[in-house]
């Protein structure tokens, strides 16, 4: 069976990460679980490790995008074939991991995105966040000529080619959402959405929290605009021969 | 300068009755200012005579600079040589400058509010404020990076020590 990694970035999730890891290990015990501790000030790393996950800790907080890229680099170094990414705050239902992976392992798509808007009984945000998500959803759908219902979902399954692609400088470490989808599309990767249930965040905030909504809107619009201007991505290159953005491409831990 | 909140801009009120002399106390007529078509156009839009306004060449130059800066910054971000977070101030400033020169009456209003004597002065002061904000942004970022470098250095030193201890133990067993 090909190696699969479940990647969970976490920042100050000491109260919830243990349950998330245990649930994942119950549902997919044959998969490895990696928690990237993004400079948490609580006991996130200890709890995750006690629950059975491998833990990589940043020395300080670097942000969600950097945390998941660390996970991609780990997966590349450890030669994982597939990777499932989910949030560490319990928003993503681990029961959908296999459904998310199915089209990727079958070779039907390169990246499968879990969409809360396709699932039944899924939490949907309200207010300004919903309007913002709706705007970027329509924009991305129009630009890649494919219906996308959830452009900000952090619940994804990817194959090794995408893992390698995401370890390069192309990956937008600052809020990797809609612009990442456009970059993937322009580089020739196949994208598919899969229904996935998501829950409301119990504490009322998440790693995607809108504490900088204005900057997020600005950054996303600017990033999408410059992505469309980039000629290298327009040629559909998959960057399979591109070097990862760290100095070592493999053998980080053996 | 009026103290009541609704006192109109005295500069504009005066300009509704354009004068051909500068109102010197001795009543003598001074040099007549020849108004071009552009001066008449700006007067009809702003109500201000040309001596209070930015010359056309300066306006064109300001517009050109704001457009060039905007394009340059976008290109730097496109080439991944400039991160989006550092482009915010540049892009916002160039857009504001472009809008103010285009919507000239807004620039005139700001000029009045800050007590400047000409629109060019307002743009110059705006540039200084922009540089100040840019410096503050860099100082904040440098402070954060300094702390991070310190933490990384300490962690590196401690990890090297751990490796040294492990090497001694491993070497001692052999």
Mean pLDDT of A222-232: 83
Mean pLDDT of B23-34: 48
Rg (CA), chain B: 28
Q: Say if residues A253 and A79 touch (Cβ distance below 8 Å).
A: no
Whole-number mean pLDDT of chain A? 84
Mean pLDDT of A182-203: 85
Mean pLDDT of A242-248: 48
Partner residue opposite B151 with nearest CB, options A60, A174, A229: A60
Please give the Cα distance from B133 to B89 (Å, whole number): 8
Q: Do the Cβ atoms of B84 and A229 come within 8 Å?
A: no
Mean pLDDT of A49-68: 93
Q: What is the pLDDT of residue A207?
A: 44
Sign of torsion, CA B150 B155 B156 B157? Answer: positive
Q: What is the pLDDT of residue A250?
A: 39
Which H, E and C letters describe A119-142, residue by residue?
A: CCCCCCCCCHHHHHHHHHHHHHHH
Partner residue opposite A222 with nearest CB, options B87, B147, B155: B87
Q: Do the Cβ atoms of B74 and A225 come within 8 Å?
A: yes
Q: Do the Cβ atoms of A60 and B148 come within 8 Å?
A: yes
Of the two residues B34 and B157, the one the predictor is more confident about is B157
Helices (H) then strands (E): counts for chain B:
6, 0
pLDDT of residue A249 exceeding 80, the answer is no
pLDDT of residue A92 exceeding 80, the answer is yes
Percentage, residues of chain A above pLDDT 70:
82
pLDDT of residue A238 exceeding 90, the answer is no
Q: Do the Cβ atoms of A169 and B80 come within 8 Å?
A: yes
Nearest chain B alpha carbon to A230: B78
Mean pLDDT of B125-145: 93
Of the two residues A80 and B122, the one the predictor is more confident about is A80
Q: Which residue has the tokens 């496109």?
A: B78
Q: What is the pLDDT of residue A123?
A: 61
Q: With contacts defined as CB-CB under 8 Å, which chain B residues touch A217?
A: none
Quote the crossing angle between the two packed helices B37-46 and B104-114, to the nearest 10°: 70
Encoded tokens for A17: 């990460």
Q: Which residues contact A234 (CB under 8 A, 6 or more apart)?
A: A186
A222 inside 8 A of chain B by CB: yes
Closest CA to A161 of A88, A77, A238, A102: A238
Q: Do the Cβ atoms of B152 and A215 come within 8 Å?
A: no
Q: What is the pLDDT of residue A38?
A: 94
Whole-number mean pLDDT of chain B? 79
Nearest chain A alpha carbon to B83: A174
B149 inside 8 A of chain A by CB: no
B72 inside 8 A of chain A by CB: no
Q: Do the Cβ atoms of B148 and A225 come within 8 Å?
A: no
Please give the Cα distance from A170 to B79 (Å, whole number): 11
Mean pLDDT of A154-160: 95
Per residue in A47-65, is it b (16+ CB within 10 Å) or e — as a string? bbbebebebbbbeebbbbb
Judged by average pLDDT, the poorest of A101-105, A182-186, A236-240, B152-156 is A236-240
pLDDT of residue A224 exceeding 80, the answer is yes
Distance from CA of A119 to the nearest CA of B (A): 34
Q: Do the Cβ atoms of B77 and A60 come within 8 Å?
A: no
* DSSP structure string for A8-70: EEESS-TTTHHHHHHHHHHH-TTSEEEEEE-S-SSSHHHHHHHTT-EEEE-SS---HHHHHHH
Of the two residues A97 and A121, the one the predictor is more confident about is A97
Mean pLDDT of A210-229: 82
Q: With contacts defined as CB-CB under 8 Å, which chain B residues touch A222?
A: 74, 77, 84, 87, 91
B77 inside 8 A of chain A by CB: yes
Q: What is the pLDDT of residue A16?
A: 94
B152 inside 8 A of chain A by CB: yes
Name the maximum alpha-carbon separation found in chain A: 47
Q: Do the Cβ atoms of B91 and A222 come within 8 Å?
A: yes
For testing contact with chain A, the best of B73, B74, B78 (most A CBs within 10 A): B78
Mean pLDDT of B104-118: 86
pLDDT of residue B5 exceeding 70, the answer is no
pLDDT of residue A64 exceeding 70, the answer is yes
Q: Do the Cβ atoms of A59 and B84 come within 8 Å?
A: no
Q: Say if residues B36 and B55 touch (Cβ distance below 8 Å).
A: no
pLDDT of residue B16 exceeding 50, the answer is no
Q: Which residues contact A240 (CB under 8 A, 6 or more apart)?
A: A161, A164, A165
Q: Which residues contact A229 (CB under 8 A, 6 or more apart)?
A: B74, B78
ipTM, 2 dp:
0.72
Nearest chain B alpha carbon to A220: B84
Mean pLDDT of A35-43: 94
Q: What is the pLDDT of residue A121?
A: 60
Residue A214 binned pLDDT confidence (cut-offs 50, 70, 90): confident
Percentage, residues of chain B above pLDDT 70:
76
pTM above 0.80, yes or no: no
Q: What is the pLDDT of residue B32?
A: 44
Of the two residues B35 and B97, the one the predictor is more confident about is B97
Encoded tokens for A110: 């390169």
Judged by average pLDDT, the poorest of A88-92, A119-123, A127-131, A217-221 is A119-123
Q: With contacts defined as CB-CB under 8 Å, which chain B residues touch A215?
A: 85, 88
pLDDT of residue A97 exceeding 90, the answer is yes
Q: Say if residues B32 and B20 touch (Cβ distance below 8 Å).
A: yes
pLDDT of residue A199 exceeding 60, the answer is yes
Mean pLDDT of B101-128: 87
B81 inside 8 A of chain A by CB: no
* DSSP structure string for B51-91: GGS--HHHHHHHHHHHHHHHHHHHHHHHTTSS-HHHHHHHH
pLDDT of residue B17 exceeding 80, the answer is no
A253 inside 8 A of chain B by CB: no
pLDDT of residue A109 exceeding 80, the answer is yes
């Amino acid at each position: 069976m090909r190696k699969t990694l479940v990647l969970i970035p976490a920042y100050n999730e000491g109260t919830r990460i243990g349950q998330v890891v245990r649930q994942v290990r119950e549902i997919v015990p044959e998969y490895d679980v990696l928690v990237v501790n993004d400079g948490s000030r609580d006991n996130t790393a200890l709890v995750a490790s006690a629950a059975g996950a491998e833990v990589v800790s940043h020395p300080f907080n670097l942000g969600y995008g950097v945390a998941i890229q660390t996970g991609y680099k780990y997966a590349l170094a450890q030669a994982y074939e597939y990777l499932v990414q989910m949030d560490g705050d319990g928003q993503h239902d681990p029961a959908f991991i296999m459904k998310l992976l199915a089209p990727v392992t079958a070779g039907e798509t390169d990246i499968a995105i879990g969409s809360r808007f396709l699932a039944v009984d899924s939490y949907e945000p309200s207010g300004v966040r919903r309007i913002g998500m709706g705007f970027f959803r329509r924009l991305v759908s129009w630009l890649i000529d494919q219906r996308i219902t959830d452009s900000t979902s952090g619940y994804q399954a990817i194959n090794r080619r995408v893992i390698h692609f995401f370890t390069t400088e192309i990956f937008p470490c600052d809020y990797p959402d809609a612009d990442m989808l456009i970059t993937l599309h322009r580089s020739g990767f196949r994208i598919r959405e899969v229904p996935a249930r998501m829950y409301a965040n119990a504490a009322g905030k998440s790693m995607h929290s809108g504490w900088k909504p204005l900057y997020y809107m600005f950054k996303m619009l600017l990033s999408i605009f410059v992505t469309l201007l980039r000629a290298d991505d327009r040629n559909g290159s998959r960057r399979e021969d591109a070097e990862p953005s760290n100095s070592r491409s493999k053998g980080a831990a053996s | 300068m009026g103290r009541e909140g609704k006192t109109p801009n005295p500069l504009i009120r005066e300009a509704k009755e354009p004068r051909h002399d500068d109102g010197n106390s001795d009543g003598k007529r001074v040099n007549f200012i020849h108004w071009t078509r552009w001066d008449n156009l700006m007067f009809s839009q702003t109500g201000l005579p040309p001596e209070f306004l930015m010359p056309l060449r300066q306006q064109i130059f300001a517009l050109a600079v704001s457009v060039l800066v905007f394009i340059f910054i976008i290109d730097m971000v496109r080439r991944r040589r400039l991160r989006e977070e550092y482009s915010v101030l540049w892009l916002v400033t160039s857009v504001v400058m472009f809008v103010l020169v285009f919507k000239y009456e807004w620039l005139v209003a700001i000029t009045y509010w800050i007590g400047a004597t000409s629109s060019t002065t307002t743009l110059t002061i705006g540039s200084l404020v922009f540089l100040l904000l840019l410096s503050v942004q860099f100082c904040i970022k440098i402070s954060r990076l300094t702390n991070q470098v310190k933490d990384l250095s300490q962690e590196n030193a401690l990890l090297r020590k751990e490796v040294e201890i492990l090497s001694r133990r491993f070497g001692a067993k052999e």
